[in-house]
């Protein structure tokens, strides 16, 4: 029980930034704009929030800076994809490359610590929060344990994420904006004829995507490690993209994909060097590679079929 | 301002003025960042240029980096002509390195160089092509998007190589994740050694025969893409897939073959690096060469001449950037990655950004 709880606990920790990034990607891709720049936006956000939290001694100002940094990158992407009708894939590539270049350069120039930001002190970091009665319920079997060991004791960002998941799901499927979002991603010409501004919807979608990426990046630097480390996103943006495809561009299945990948990751750390009966040791690389292989198989239609929003990647040029 | 409209500029201006303006825009942003971190942009630019082209040694290193970039640039361009965006050059070069390493480790003490090196090249091409073929096949037959699959294949390649090098290929007793040194039979001669053979003194750099192969590859690429039946099919598929299908072109075969050629070309980057310079395989030998290829192809507008010029630019940036980082400790080699990103942004995603302005200038001249 103890072991399972701690395994699930670290699953939640690993999954949080993935979930945020995957939901960010969903906003963008549901509006018809390919977003392979999730990784870059997370990375800039991680740097900006780490730097701002260090300077201002406030995790919240760090979060604000992280969100602003990711949103500004998202707006570059929006300019290329919506206003300029440029190639969205290349723009995403550019954002990733710019992010992995600029963060260590600024980091070294401002903090002289090899491109990282200094370790944050306790006041400038997000902390684990004990939910009410967590201690008291700790000894109640199963439910109490689940509550106190699994649900309690996470950072505020985790709880925000837990609230964001149903909210996003509601926005996409039940709100006016969600209807427009999906219409623009499936058939922008029809949406345009119905009087919806395709450009406006896509800008808004990318904006919220930027906000979510900003939170994801902030989680990494201002909560998890307590400083920005070069290339600290390490493929998490692409993992989130994989989860998004895995969830077939739907919010809840995408979240499940993130949890699955995070579980595999948490499990892999515990299996390091352990001899399993019959199989022997599993190399950690074999587990790391699972999400990517699954995504390829899914895209190829070998396990179900992943159907992307129809208008994805195609610039919308208003017909005259 | 109207973007995304057909260009009204003459072709020469499209191919020369716009890339130069885009490059200037990228340099301007870089200059701004340089100024922001408290350095003199102009002085840094001078150090960069003199580091890359100011000495024989600098030029040798620049051309060595250029070699790899030409190959990966051609690789990306081949796929581009078929309408495919191959982000997987890095993984393909990685797997090609595996092919080379397996051949070398098996035969470097038994086969003479004249047999071994061509065998290595075939292995690099074969492994690179095979790693690109799978996403190509998935795109052609199963309709999965090549960009996402090649991204995933980069990660799969990386994990696979970490495992293979860490568990199987690592030199016995070594702590570093590298193979043993390759036998001399598998070394591709450096140009300074060859030149010394005919009595010419060149500075000692890793620039090797692969550079000549890169130039040859550019000629072959030109002939294949613009002067062969298959090249015509390739470009037709790239421009309009349904028209190509209607014209009786086997689209899926063209896509798969384009990806194989693309992967095989990426493989040569591994030859340049492993047989021409490091002479052993290590975990990070590709060092982003596949990603730079994307910028090279975009900036060179998928034409061999453009690719040579932009590969030279990126080779110079790499070498000059290293020199610059020795002189100015605050400017690291990541600055070069940042410039690469800006070039991808301006020359790729925003390639015609300045078109309306330039078109306006041309129009005014005509009106007069």
Average pLDDT over residues A266-279: 77
Residue in B345, B351, B353, B354 to test binding to A, most A beta-carbons within 10 Å: B345
Q: How many helices (H) and strands (E) does chain A have?
A: 14, 2
Euclidean distance between CA atoms B262 and B240, whole angstroms:
20
Q: Is the model more confident about B39 or about B132?
A: B132
Secondary structure letter of residue A128 according to DSSP: E
Which residues from A are below 8 Å from B163, CB to CB? 283, 285-286
On whether the CB atoms of residues B93 and B269 are closer than 8 A, the answer is yes
pTM: 0.91
Q: How far apart are CA B305 and CA A196, in angstroms?
A: 45
3-state helix, strand, coil in chain B (%, to 5): 75, 0, 25
* Size of the A and B interface in Cβ pairs below 8 Å: 154
B350 vs A84: CB contact, 8 Å cut-off? yes
CB-based burial, B32-41: b 16+ in 10 Å, e otherwise: ebbeeeebeb
Query: Among B152, B337, B351, whose Cβ lies nearest the Cβ of A97?
Result: B337
pLDDT score of B1 more than 60: no
**C-alpha to C-alpha distance for A173 and A195, rounded to whole angstroms:** 20
pLDDT at B75 over 70: yes
Which residues, other chains included, contact A224 with Cβ-Cβ below 8 Å and sequence gap of 6+?
Answer: A13
Q: How far is CA B282 from the centre of its chain?
A: 19
Phi and psi torsions of A129, nearest 5°: -110, 130
Nearest by Cα to B252 from B150, B141, B133: B141
Tokens 């330039």 correspond to B358
Q: Could you tell me the end-to-end alpha-carbon distance of chain B, in angstroms, rounded to an integer?
A: 23
Q: How far is CA B228 from CA A297, B77, B223, B306, B329, in A?
A: 35, 16, 7, 20, 50
| Interface probe with A: pick from B40, B334, B347, B351, most Cβ of A within 10 Å | B334
Going by C-beta distance under 8 Å and a sequence separation of 6 or more, which residues neighbour residue B158? B91, B94
CB A143 within 8 A of CB A118: no
pLDDT of B3 over the 70 cut: no
Q: How far is A220 from chain B (nearest CA, A)?
A: 21
Task: Dump pLDDT digits (tens) for B202-240.
Answer: 888 999 999 999 999 999 999 999 999 999 999 999 998
> Cβ–Cβ contacts within 10 Å for residue A144, how many?
15
Res. A98: pLDDT tops 90: yes
HSE, side-chain direction, 13 A CA sphere, residue A5 = 16
Nearest to A294 by CA among A260, A250, A263, A253: A260
Which chain B residues are Cβ-neighbours of A245 within 8 angstroms?
148
Chain A residues with beta carbon closer than 8 angstroms to that of B335: 101, 105
Segment A272-275 long-range contacts (CB within 8 Å, at least 24 positions apart): none
CA distances to A39, A103, A112 from A50, rounded to whole Å, are 16, 11, 14
Tens-place pLDDT, residues B253-296: 999 999 999 999 999 999 999 999 999 998 888 888 999 999 99
- Which residues of B fall within a CB distance of 8 Å from A97? 291, 295, 337-338, 340-341, 344
Cα–Cα distances in Å, from B319 out to A220, B291, B310, B312? 33, 17, 14, 10
Q: What is the pLDDT of residue A319?
A: 67
Residue B145 has what pLDDT? 84
Q: Is B314 exposed, middle or buried (0-12, 13-18, 19+ CB in 10 A)?
A: buried
Q: What percent of chain A has pLDDT over 70?
A: 98
Residues 6+ apart with CB under 8 A from B225: B78, B81, B231, B234, B235
Which residues of chain B have a CB within 8 Å of the CB of A36? Answer: 147-148, 151
Q: Which residues pair with B178 in a beta bridge?
A: B282
Would the pLDDT of A128 be above 90? no
pLDDT tens digits for range B131-174: 999 999 999 988 888 888 999 999 999 999 999 988 888 888 87
Place of tokens 């690096």: B273
Query: Hey, are the CB atoms on A99 and B149 less than 8 Å from each other?
Result: no
Neighbours of B333 (CB within 10 A): 15
Average of per-residue pLDDT across A14-29 = 95
Give B115→chain A minimum CA distance, Å: 35
| Residue A176 main-chain phi, psi, to 5 deg | -60, -45
Complex ipTM over 0.95 = no
Please name the helix (run of DSSP H) or strand (run of DSSP E) that holds residue B91, with its range, or none.
helix B89-107
Residues 165-184 on B with a CB inside 8 Å of A are 166-167
Closest CA to A241 of A200, A174, A296, A180: A296
């Amino acid at each position: 029980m103890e072991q399972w709880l701690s395994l699930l606990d670290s699953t939640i920790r690993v999954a949080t930034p993935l979930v945020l990034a995957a939901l960010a990607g969903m906003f963008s891709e549901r509006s018809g704009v390919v977003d392979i720049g999730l990784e870059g936006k997370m990375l800039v956000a991680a740097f900006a929030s780490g730097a701002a939290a260090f300077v201002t001694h406030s995790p919240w100002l760090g979060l604000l800076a992280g969100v602003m940094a990711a949103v500004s990158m998202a707006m570059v992407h929006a300019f290329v994809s919506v206003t300029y009708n440029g190639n969205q894939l290349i723009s995403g590539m550019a954002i990733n490359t710019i992010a992995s270049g600029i963060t260590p350069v600024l980091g070294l120039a401002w903090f002289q610590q090899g491109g990282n930001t200094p370790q944050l002190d306790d006041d400038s970091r997000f902390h684990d929060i004990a939910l009410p009665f967590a201690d008291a319920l700790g000894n109640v079997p199963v439910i109490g344990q689940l509550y106190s060991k699994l649900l309690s004791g996470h950072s505020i960002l985790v709880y925000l994420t837990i609230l964001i998941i149903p909210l996003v799901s509601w926005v996409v499927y039940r709100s006016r904006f969600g209807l427009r979002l999906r219409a623009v991603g499936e058939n922008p010409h029809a949406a345009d004829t119905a009087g919806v501004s395709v450009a406006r919807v896509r800008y808004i979608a990318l904006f919220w995507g930027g906000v979510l990426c900003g939170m994801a990046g902030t989680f990494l630097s201002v909560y998890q490690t307590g400083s920005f480390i070069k290339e600290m996103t390490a493929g998490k943006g692409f993992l989130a993209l994989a989860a998004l495809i895995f969830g077939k561009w739907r919010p809840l299945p995408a979240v499940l994909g993130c949890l699955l990948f995070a579980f595999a990751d948490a499990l892999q750390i515990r299996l390091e060097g352990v001899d399993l009966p019959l199989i022997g040791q599993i190399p950690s690389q074999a587990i790391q590679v699972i999400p990517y292989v699954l995504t390829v198989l899914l895209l190829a239609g070998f396990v179900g079929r992943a159907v992307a929003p129809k208008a994805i990647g195609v610039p919308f040029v208003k017909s005259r | 301002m109207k973007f995304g409209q057909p260009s009204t500029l003459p072709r020469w201006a499209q191919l020369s003025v716009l890339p130069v303006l885009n490059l200037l825009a990228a340099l301007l942003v870089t200059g701004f960042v340089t100024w922001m971190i408290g350095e003199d942009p102009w002085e840094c630019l001078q150090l960069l240029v003199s580091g890359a082209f100011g000495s024989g040694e600098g030029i040798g290193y620049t051309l060595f980096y250029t070699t790899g970039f030409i190959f990966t640039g051609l690789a990306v361009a081949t796929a581009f002509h078929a309408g495919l965006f191959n982000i997987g050059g890095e993984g393909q070069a990685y797997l090609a390195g595996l092919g080379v390493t397996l051949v070398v480790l098996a035969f470097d003490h038994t086969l003479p160089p004249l047999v071994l090196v061509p065998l290595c090249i075939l292995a690099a091409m074969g492994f690179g092509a095979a790693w690109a073929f799978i996403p190509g096949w998935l795109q052609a037959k199963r309709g999965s998007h090549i960009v996402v699959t090649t991204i995933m294949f980069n990660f799969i390649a990386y994990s696979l190589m970490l495992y293979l090098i860490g568990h199987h290929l690592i030199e016995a007793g070594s702590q570093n994740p590298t193979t043993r040194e390759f036998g001399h039979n598998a070394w591709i001669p450096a140009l300074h050694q060859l030149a010394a053979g005919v009595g010419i003194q060149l500075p000692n750099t890793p620039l090797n025969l692969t550079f000549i192969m890169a130039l040859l590859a550019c000629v072959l690429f030109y002939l294949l893409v613009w002067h062969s039946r298959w090249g015509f099919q390739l470009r037709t598929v790239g421009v309009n897939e349904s028209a190509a299908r209607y014209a009786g072109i086997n689209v899926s075969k063209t896509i798969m073959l384009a990806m194989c050629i693309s992967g095989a070309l990426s493989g040569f980057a591994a030859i340049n690096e492993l047989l021409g310079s490091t002479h052993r395989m290590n975990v990070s030998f590709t060092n982003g060469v596949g990603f730079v290829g994307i910028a090279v192809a975009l900036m060179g507008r998928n034409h061999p001449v453009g690719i040579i010029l932009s590969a030279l630019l990126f080779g110079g940036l790499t070498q000059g950037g290293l020199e610059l980082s020795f002189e100015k400790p605050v400017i690291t080699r990541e600055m070069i990655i940042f410039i690469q990103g800006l070039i991808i942004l301006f020359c790729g995603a925003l390639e015609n950004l300045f078109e309306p302005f330039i078109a306006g200038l041309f129009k005014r001249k005509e009106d007069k």
